[in-house]
């Protein structure tokens, strides 16, 4: 690489530009690799759809008994075949029938808001892999915070297939703590900011009739 750019590279250079490099690689995976390997991705999603729900539920219960407020799973680096996409076949989530997982409910009412710790970069593929591995194909869409290439996203919104998915993931709690590859992630139900209703206009001042003058 030094020969290509005709300049000496030191470790501080890579440390300084690590976020730019990571986001560039993530963009390459999402926009090139995932499209080129679409058929492999669909096959992987279909295999996940046939995994035993009992095994997933048992694993989740064991984690809850060991760490009532924390679930920790180590996920592997991203592979195109592991990341489900909106074009992938819809599969069952939990014990809900696939027909019940529609978008008839407004997305705001089936969205989870997750926050990340500053200084611990969490990638979109890590979030997708974590929740898909634990809870099946529960994600309809995932929206990371829009940041500059050298900045770290601190939150994301996960639109679930149904409102019941939120209750299952949060295990009935208001807030849940997860650990993804050693990085803490907090999740809670998304509460959209509703616009305040406009104040009613004040009533018009009373209209006083002129007093007639006597002759």
Distance CA 125, CA 122 (A): 9
* 66-79 mean pLDDT: 50
- For 9, the 3-state DSSP assignment is coil
Q: Is the pLDDT of residue 12 over 70?
A: yes
Q: Write out pLDDT tens, residues 145-204.
A: 999 988 999 999 999 988 888 988 998 899 999 999 999 999 999 988 777 776 677 777
The verdict on domain 9-189 having CATH code 3.90.1640.30 is no
Closest Cα partner for 103 from 66, 141, 143, 153? 141
Average pLDDT over residues 26-45: 69
Res. 48: pLDDT tops 70: no
Per residue in 76-127, pLDDT tens? Answer: 444 433 444 443 333 344 444 443 445 578 999 999 999 999 999 999 999 9
Please report, for the chain, the start and end positions of each structural domain, with discontinuous segments joined by +.
Answer: 9-189
User: How many alpha carbons lie under 13 Å from residue 97 in its C-beta half-sphere?
Assistant: 2
């Amino acid at each position: 690489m030094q020969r290509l750019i005709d300049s000496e590279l030191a470790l501080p250079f890579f440390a300084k530009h690590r976020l730019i490099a990571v986001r560039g690689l993530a963009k390459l995976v999402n926009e090139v690799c995932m499209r080129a390997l679409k058929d492999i991705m669909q096959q992987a999603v279909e295999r996940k759809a046939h995994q035993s729900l009992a095994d997933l539920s048992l694993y989740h219960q064991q984690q809850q008994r060991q760490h009532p407020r924390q679930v920790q799973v180590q996920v592997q680096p991203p592979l195109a075949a592991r990341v489900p996409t909106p074009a992938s076949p819809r599969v069952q989530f939990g014990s809900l029938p696939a027909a019940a997982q529609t978008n008839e409910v407004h997305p705001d009412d089936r969205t989870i808001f997750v926050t990340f710790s500053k200084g611990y970069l969490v990638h979109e593929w890590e979030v997708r892999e974590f929740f898909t591995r634990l809870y099946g194909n529960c994600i309809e869409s995932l929206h990371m915070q829009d940041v500059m290439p050298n900045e770290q996203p601190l939150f994301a919104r996960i639109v679930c297939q149904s409102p019941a998915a939120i209750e299952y993931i949060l295990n009935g709690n208001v807030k849940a703590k997860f650990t993804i590859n050693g990085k803490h992630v907090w999740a809670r139900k998304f509460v959209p900011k509703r616009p305040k209703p406009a104040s009613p206009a004040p009533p018009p001042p009373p209209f006083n009739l002129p007093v007639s003058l006597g002759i």
